[in-house]
Amino acid sequence: MVRKRALRIVVGLAALSLAVTGCGRSTSGQTPQAGASASVAADAKAADLVPAALKEKGVLRVATAEGYPPMEMYKEGTQDLTGVDPELAAAIAGRLGLKLEMTNASFPGLIPGLQADRWDLAMSSMSDTEERRKAVDFVDYFQAGGAIMVAKGNPAGVKDLADLCGRAVVLAKGSSNLAIGEKQNTSCAKKMTISQSEDAPTGLLQIDAGRAVATIVDYPVAKMLAQQSGKYEVLEAQYEAGPWGIAIDKKDSQLRDAVQRALQELIEAGDYAKILEKWGVQASGVQTATVNDQK
């Protein structure tokens, strides 16, 4: 979804245009830092790169959209956020010398929230895409694509993406996986019947009910959902694989550089790998923290 969601947003051009021209950060005191990456000392610590206004506040506000295990979800029976992104956000905040303030929000509202200064970062399994980069910068921290999920035993005999033509498929609203399905559908002689769910778990309910034969879910999420439930299978092919990024308002380039440095410090210290291994998604890890890496 990522949501590829890894877009859960395929942010439409109109929405992105609105985001680009939105309010921007009005109270942080941060200003565009053109060329900040080139100007900072190579041996500077991440904490040294934190914008002064943010350092004075002492709080890093991070938004996510729960409901996407193992990346972001509530601990069972609580409203406490957990998963890869919340734990990585806490580690980044620690490297920056800031207290983490984690907020749950709707996925489509994450980028507009950055533009409106409601939070400093958005970490929610979000794909680094060219369209989204019209509104935000990304510090890329993950690599994954969409995978097809079917009921256990694959009763409909789905083999690959092209094999979804002519079938009932459920895809998460606004996700890059929806975009994958819709793109495929343009080449189908017999069109898919595509329904849209709020997220991956609710889409699986349609498979349970026999209203859809398949969905497309970001690979690591699909594997965890299948493992936890024992009710589904994940086809191994991944589609539109690419980087997922931590979204940061383009005005906050100094903060972007600080986050990139913090992530690189976590990679080199081994803390990043430990978080991914804890949640079983180490195969999607990166070796280097990059910015706007989608080609």
pLDDT tens digits for range 84-104: 999 999 999 999 999 999 999
pLDDT of residue 92: 98
Contacts of 194 (CB under 8 A, 6+ apart): 169, 170, 171, 178, 181, 182, 185
Residue 48 parent element (H or E) = none
Q: What is the pLDDT of residue 228?
A: 86
Distances (CA, A) of 9 to 45, 47, 107, 129, 255: 33, 31, 7, 10, 23
Integer Cα distance of 255 and 248 in angstroms: 8
Other beta carbons within 10 Å of 73: 20
- C-alpha–C-alpha distance, residues 266 and 272, integer Å: 5
Low-confidence ranges of the chain (pLDDT < 70): 1-41, 294-295
Q: At what angle do helices 84-96 and 253-269 cross, to 10 degrees?
A: 110
Task: Give the model's pLDDT for residue 3.
Answer: 54
Distance, CA of 283 to CA of 276 (rounded, Å): 8
Bridge partner list, 234: 149
Can you tell me which residue has the tokens 């890894």? Answer: 6
